[in-house]
Amino acid sequence: MKSSILVLTVFCSAVSGSQAADIAEQQLIHQQARQQALEAQLAPPPAEVRLSVPETGASAAFPVETPCFLITHVRLAGIENFPRWLPFRRVAQQGENHCLGDKGISRLITQLQDQLINHGYVTSRVLVPRQDLRTHTLKLVMIPGK
């Protein structure tokens, strides 16, 4: 009889121990779920970032402006201070045979300046001297950096 009581006691304690472990495990799972829900609620929404592809080359259409001046030739002064293989002339030719106003000329200067920067000439500049655009020639001065 004592052995049956002992077996019954061991069995009951084993059952209650496994139930306690199950309850503790369920509480842990529930607590983790609450923690995840709280973190999801407090986390900022992911930022939506969309980058536009910069217009370059022939795809960079010049804006229609008034007043504008028909530019048949773009002259680059100071280009001899830079390597011949850099594509400055090709970029400058994009402005030829277009009617350019302030924004169009600025876009052309920006494209030339970007070429300088992309090839490591970060302190070099492209300037527009005073000129008469009725001659249909746009003169730009390329100043090498130091």
Q: HEC profile for 96-127?
A: CCEEECHHHHHHHHHHHHHHHHHCCCCCCEEE
Query: Phi/psi zone of residue 88: left (φ > 0), alpha (ψ -120 to 50 degrees), beta?
Result: alpha
Instruction: Say what the pLDDT of residue 40 is.
Output: 79
Instruction: Say what the pLDDT of residue 26 is.
Output: 87
Cα separation of 37 and 79, whole Å? 62
Give the pLDDT band (50/70/90) at residue 59.
Answer: very low
Instruction: Say what the pLDDT of residue 85 is.
Output: 87
Instruction: Say what the pLDDT of residue 136 is.
Output: 93
Instruction: Say what the pLDDT of residue 110 is.
Output: 94
Render pLDDT for 15-54 as a digit per residue (tens, 0 to 9): 555 676 778 888 889 899 888 888 877 877 777 776 665 5
Query: Does the pTM of the predicted model rise above 0.75?
Result: no
Looking at every residue in the chain, the average pLDDT score rounds to: 82
Query: How many angstroms separate the Cα of 78 from the Cα of each of 62, 124, 130?
Result: 24, 11, 16
| Higher pLDDT pick, 146 / 139 | 139
Closest CA to 70 of 95, 96, 99, 94: 99
**Is residue 73 a contact partner of residue 133, using CB atoms and an 8 Å limit?**
no
Instruction: Say what the pLDDT of residue 46 is.
Output: 74
Look at residue 102 and tell me whether its pLDDT is greater than 70.
Answer: yes
Look at residue 130 and tell me whether its pLDDT is greater than 50.
Answer: yes
With a pLDDT cut of 70, the percent of the chain lying above it is: 77
